Amino acid sequence: MIIDNYLPLRDVVFITLREAILKGQIEPGERLMEISLANKLGVSRTPIREAIRKLELEGLVVMTPRKGAVVSEITLKDLRDVLEVRMNLEQLAVELACEKAEEEDILELKALHQEFKETLAQQDLTKVAEADVRFHDKIYQITDNKRLIQILNNLREQMYRYRLEYIKDDSSLLAEEHALIINAIEKKNVVEAKKYVERHIENQEKTISAKLTAEKAAITQ
């Protein structure tokens, strides 16, 4: 975990812990021990406690009897809730992108798509996830709808966990789906664009749901 010295300490601690959870450095079910984290980050327990409270509000941490703060598990219900919202917002985003995309926007999307494919060869999940984020962020930018962009950005952190889980298994499929979405936006074909976004997110749900179901079955055996 790396500390950023240019923000207020409470924000630094919160961002550092959130990123560690989202990137899997602190795993679901793991306890957040205030003293241990304070020593690791070189801070007092107060900003750790404040960060844990904020993480609880975001749903990344739950308070449990006798254990205290624990990183929340990824559940099927949470997955479906997040992706249901994402589906509708991203379909709106590609609809607006079809209407507003200029030639330079398409060129940039293609460049980001190429960058995404190149990161696949590096086999670094974090880099692949970040390249995927940049691709989708460009689509949001094309919409020129500040409120939509703000809502999608707020949802991004919750989506990041699921994005990483999907990328572990289906990175090449993501590349194919990105290409289809770009092609539809370039043709200004709203129906196709929305269809490919729906497929993109449904594939994510199917892949992660299957993984969560298999993990749950393995635990109960």
- Within 8 A by CB and 6+ apart from 203, the residues are 166, 170, 173, 177
User: What is the C-alpha R_g of the chain?
Assistant: 19
Q: What is the pLDDT of residue 45?
A: 94
The answer to whether the beta carbons of residues 193 and 95 sit under 8 Å apart is: yes
3-state helix, strand, coil in the chain (%, to 5): 75, 5, 20
Two tokens, residue 53: 């409270």
Two tokens, residue 207: 């892949």
Sequence-separated contacts (24+) of 57-64 with Cβ below 8 Å: 58/18, 58/157, 58/158, 59/158, 60/18, 60/21, 60/22, 61/21, 61/32
Q: What is the pLDDT of residue 67?
A: 86
Q: What is the pLDDT of residue 53?
A: 93
Q: What is the pLDDT of residue 219?
A: 67
Nearest CA to 70 among 24, 30, 35?
A: 30
Q: What is the pLDDT of residue 151?
A: 93
Domains in the chain, CATH or no CATH each: 9-71 (1.10.10.10), 76-220 (1.20.120.530)
Whole-number Å distance between alpha carbons of 12 and 49 = 13
Q: Provide the 3-class DSSP secondary structure of residue 33.
A: coil
In DSSP terms, 71 is beta-bridged to 61
DSSP letter (8 states) at residue 31 = B
Chunk the chain into consecutive blocks of 10 residues (it has 221) and report each block's average pLDDT, rounded to whole numbers: 66 89 85 94 94 88 90 87 94 98 98 94 84 95 97 83 75 89 98 97 90 76 64
The crossing angle, in degrees rounded to 10, of helices 146-186 and 103-120 is 90
The answer to whether the beta carbons of residues 29 and 73 sit under 8 Å apart is: yes
Q: How remote is the C-alpha of 189 from its chain's centroid?
A: 27
